[in-house]
Amino acid sequence: MTQYKIPDEEKTPLYLKPVNGRLMARFDFKRPVTYLVMGNRNTGKSAFIEVLAENHDNTIIDLYGSKDNENLCWCRKTSPIDDILLVHGDNTTVTASFDTAPISDVNLSTLEGYKAVVTCNSFFSSDNIKFDALEKLTGVLYERTQWNKGHLMFMAFRETMDLIYSKMHQGVGEKDAKAQLLYFMRQLRHFGVSVGADMLRWTGIDKELRDLSEYIVFKKIGYKGLPRDLRFIYKYVNPITFRYMKHNQIVMLQENGNMSLGKFDLPKYHKEEGVDLLRELDITISHSAAPESSTQQKIGDMEHFIIMELYKKHQSYRVVSEHLPEAGYEQRSISSIGYQVTQHNKAVKQKGSCDRCNRATPGTDIANIELYTG
């Protein structure tokens, strides 16, 4: 099989050969593109996404894999990367030999300052906090309106459905969440971001996602067969290939119609089944009480904190109510604002500090201040 690889002995070998009757599909690691990796569970999708990420010479952003924290593979001694930032929830403390940061401290400069930015399920005390963090991390990329040609980021979505769940967690329906995901994926190339996304399902959103992907990579699909719009591939690749493909094998279709058969070495740092990476890497995690989220009927901890900040500044329940929408919340009644201030002052009097303010923003000064109510 003819090797197609950037000549760098330190990177995981990747081999391609053309399919009979088709020109050979080739990777382009110098422009922002989308790679859609499709296949059953346990077929090597994550390992292949790691190979793609490794071949992008700039920042890798690896978001949310399986519950066994596979994203931490970049921290292993066999990884080619040692300049790594671990991102965690605001109510979580992570102790590790790598740099760490709460999600509230992450901005575009933070992302661009490391070779790899990694987060995983264990760094968040709940799925709700994880989904909020995912929205924050992906939203930061919209700020990357200027970037040098060739200076790409590579964003790994090992569990692409988490992106949909994160948007649904913000209160939108499934249909709108899928539409927002597609818009987000379509815009990333304008910000110099390549994407490696894996998918299991063959229906629904997948057709639209396939249409905007420059590369579709097939792994073993078993009895399912190819989607209807891609069955022309059977003219060039025996259907049996897709049923019995090995973990390190791929069939790749490029947007121009070129195709390749490929294989790759398993990355030396890839997580094996049954391995506890937290223990191997000596990473310890502790979670404090998570802030409560706001609903239409209930004022959450962060909204409570913002109300206290606004009231301290304006000393008026009415003005606070009018300013809440500017902070991203619904306008609350004057009586609701007054109740929050009263409860805050009561907590400060009784315990010396407001737990709700501390949960929203640990260490904030206003948590210890009794507010004037005249």
CATH number of 14-287, picked from 1.10.10, 1.10.3470, 3.30.2310, 3.40.50: 3.40.50
355 vs 349: CA distance, rounded Å: 12
Q: Which of 181-190, 273-282, 350-359 has the lowest mean pLDDT?
A: 181-190
Q: Domain residues of the chain, as ranges? A: 14-287, 301-368
Grade residue 163 by pLDDT with cuts at 50, 70 and 90.
confident
Check residue 204 and give its pLDDT.
Answer: 61
The pLDDT tens digits of the residues spanning 254-267 come to 999 999 999 999 99
State yes or no: pLDDT of 63 exceeds 60: yes
Does the pLDDT value for residue 97 go beyond 90?
Answer: yes
Would you say the C-alpha torsion 230, 239, 12, 269 has a positive or negative sign? positive
- CB 250 within 8 Å of CB 259: no
Can you give the pLDDT at residue 5? Answer: 55
pTM of the model: 0.78
Rounded to whole angstroms, the Cα distance separating 202 from 205 reads 8
Residue 55 scores a pLDDT above 70: yes
pLDDT confidence band for 320 (50 / 70 / 90): very high
Residues, the chain, total?
A: 374
CB-based contact 303:294 (threshold 8 Å) = yes
Q: Residue 71 has what pLDDT? A: 92
Residue 313 has pLDDT above 90, yes or no: yes
The residue with greater pLDDT, 348 or 127, is 348
Give tens-digit pLDDT for 100-120.
999 989 999 999 999 999 999
The confidence score (pLDDT) of residue 171 equals 67
Q: What is the DSSP string of 86-97?
A: EEE-TTEEEE-S
Burial class (CB in 10 A: 0-12, 13-18, 19+), 137: buried
Least confident of 94-108, 149-163, 309-323: 149-163
13-52 pLDDT, tens digit per residue, is: 888 988 988 888 888 888 899 999 998 888 889 999 999 9
Q: Please return the burial class of 319, using the count of CB atoms within 10 Å of its CB with bins 0-12, 13-18 and 19+.
A: middle
Mean pLDDT over all residues of the chain? 88
Least confident of 205-219, 230-244, 340-354: 205-219
pLDDT at residue 3 is higher than 60? no
Residue 62 has a pLDDT of 93
Q: Are 244 and 220 in contact (CB under 8 A)?
A: yes
